[in-house]
Amino acid sequence: MPPVLDFWFDFASTYSYPAAVRIGRLATEAGVQVRFRPFLLGPIFKAQGWDTSPFNLYPAKGRHMWRDLERLCEDLGLPFCRPEPFPQNSLLAARVALAGMGQGLGQGLGQGLGQGWGQGWGEAFSVAVYRAQFAEGRRIDEPATLVAILSGLNVDAKAALDRAQSDDNKLRLRAETEEAQRLGVFGAPTFTTAGGELFWGNDRLEQALRWAKRGS
Amino acid sequence: MPPVLDFWFDFASTYSYPAAVRIGRLATEAGVQVRFRPFLLGPIFKAQGWDTSPFNLYPAKGRHMWRDLERLCEDLGLPFCRPEPFPQNSLLAARVALAGMGQGLGQGLGQGLGQGWGQGWGEAFSVAVYRAQFAEGRRIDEPATLVAILSGLNVDAKAALDRAQSDDNKLRLRAETEEAQRLGVFGAPTFTTAGGELFWGNDRLEQALRWAKRGS
């Protein structure tokens, strides 16, 4: 069994865009298996007393983040387009992503929906949602965008949305968010290892993979 | 004239420790002149509604920061010792550092006090204060620590403290803090270029030097 790294993300998280786009290749190179774990930052932010993104609550921090992300994407050769509005409601996208995750979460999610995705289509869907929002400026809070992404992945969009909105899947997303909070997740992207290490931020992706690889 | 990068720091800032220790060699390699600009985060945090470090206000964020800094220092080969208490009042240390800055700030500070420091002794003092706090666990809010550091640099400690506590120097530190705020500084370390780019965090030091070098 390869070492595992958990990748916790919320679709409204800006720095999760470069992380989501980069993690597949870097994990393959490191020989680490990544589990995509969508969750919701909203309840975690609320517990900290915030009712929206800290980048909106603290304007100087927000101005830096947008410019920093723009510079970062330029360095990485990634297209970048500032989403409007920000943040966008990520609830439906997170439910759909979770519904598409395969054995990665050990619960057989996505079975029967994926076509050619060994572990479900959730990972490819997640990367596509980040690209749609941050490279193409599309609205990820609109079901039509998610339907188009699913169709592009050869996934039955209606079946996927039905499963995403099932009570079982809703509860599962809530449980994932609670698990994130229990682990000490306070922002996204966050990476956690089996050994209990927690790394916050796209800047820590390479380091997190190194720690996962050596079994820490 | 070499390109210039401004390095904004508060002595209570944890990630400014690796930045302060690393910046000298990296700037020399890049051919960039660094101006050390001590300021106070307190008034900036207050304006954001915080009365102490965000790492204390948000415990999960704080827990991650300490572990992250520990891992980071290990990777960099830097000794690390978590300071107690945290944060420590950095006002006197900032005043002393500012009093020791030379032509770097273009105001002739530190003249007549430095011995062998072309640009005053403020830079060496600043690095030593970070090492005292984060490598040796010493109290930087105690004048005795600052006196010992000054003496170790062959600086007349009494003259330095007198100058640090002069009305002129106090006003200068206030003006520097206001300038930081005007530039959009919201945390430390922060790096700013002549072209108006602002980089936040030790993780951005190398990138900031690249931007300064190409004149941006």
Shortest CA gap B184–chain A (Å): 6
Cα(A190)–Cα(A175) distance, integer angstroms: 17
How far apart are the C-alpha atoms of B69 and B49, rounded to whole Å? Answer: 25
pLDDT reading at B44 higher than 50: yes
Chain A residues inside the 8 Å CB shell of B203: 203
pLDDT of residue B215: 86
DSSP state of B153: T
Q: Which of B15, B67, B191, B197 to mutate to test the interface with A (most CBs of A within 10 A)?
A: B67
CA of A64 vs chain B CAs: smallest distance (Å): 7
pLDDT tens-digit profile of B124-174?
999 999 999 999 999 999 999 999 999 999 999 999 999 999 999 999 999
The whole-model pTM stands at: 0.92
Distance CA A185, CA A39 (A): 10
The owner of tokens 């790294």 is A5
Domain B4-213 fold is Glutaredoxin (3.40.30)
Query: pLDDT tens per residue, chain A (216 residues)?
Result: 899 999 999 999 999 999 999 999 999 999 999 999 999 999 999 988 888 999 999 999 999 999 999 999 999 999 999 999 999 999 999 999 999 997 433 333 334 433 333 458 999 999 999 999 999 999 999 999 999 999 999 999 999 999 999 999 999 999 999 999 999 999 999 999 999 999 999 999 999 999 999 987
Q: How far is B50 from chain A (nearest CA, A)?
A: 11
Predicted confidence at residue A140, as pLDDT, reads 98
Question: How many angstroms separate the CA atoms of B128 and B121, rounded?
Answer: 11
A16-51: burial string, b at 16+ Cβ within 10 Å, e else: bbbbbbbbeebbeebebbbbbbbbbbbebbeeeebe
B14-41: pLDDT as tens digits: 999 999 999 999 999 999 999 999 999 9
pLDDT exceeds cutoff 70 at B105: no
Q: Show residues of chain A in contact with B48, CB under 8 Å.
A: 58
Residue-wise over B77-107: b if at least 16 C-beta within 10 A, else e?
Answer: ebebeebeeebbebbbbbbbbbbbbbebbee
Cα A31 from Cα A209, distance rounded (Å): 9
Is the pLDDT at B202 greater than 80, yes or no? yes
What pLDDT shows up at residue A119?
59
Mean pLDDT score, B194-212: 97
Q: Report the residue of chain A nearest B71, measured CA to CA.
A: A207
What is the reported pLDDT for B102?
73
Give the residue-averaged pLDDT of B42-70: 93
Nearest CA among B41, B33, B34, B53 for reference residue B186: B41
- Min Cα distance B105 → chain A (Å) is 24
So what's the pLDDT on residue A106? 37
pLDDT at A69: 98
The number of helix segments (H) and strand segments (E) in chain B equals 10, 4
Residue ranges covered by each domain of chain A: 4-213
Tokens of B39: 């300021």
DSSP A51-94: SS-HHHHSHHHHHHHHHHHHHHHHHHT------SSSSPP-HHHH
Q: Which residues 6+ apart lie within 8 Å of A87 measured at CB? A: A12, A52, A53, A56
Q: Are strands B4-9 and B33-38 parallel, antiparallel or unpaired?
A: parallel
Q: Per CB distance under 8 Å, which residues of B are interface residues toward A?
A: 48, 58, 60-61, 63-64, 67-68, 71, 75, 184-187, 197-200, 203-204, 207, 211
Contact between residue B154 and residue B115 where contact means Cβ atoms under 8 Å apart: yes
Over range B73-99, report the average pLDDT. 97
What letter would DSSP give residue A38? E
A64/B184 touch (CB, cutoff 8 Å), yes or no: yes
User: Which residues of A touch chain B, with CB atoms under 8 Å apart?
Assistant: 48, 58, 60-61, 63-64, 67-68, 71, 75, 184-187, 197-200, 203-204, 207, 211
3-state secondary structure of A14: coil
**Average pLDDT over chain B, rounded to an integer:** 92
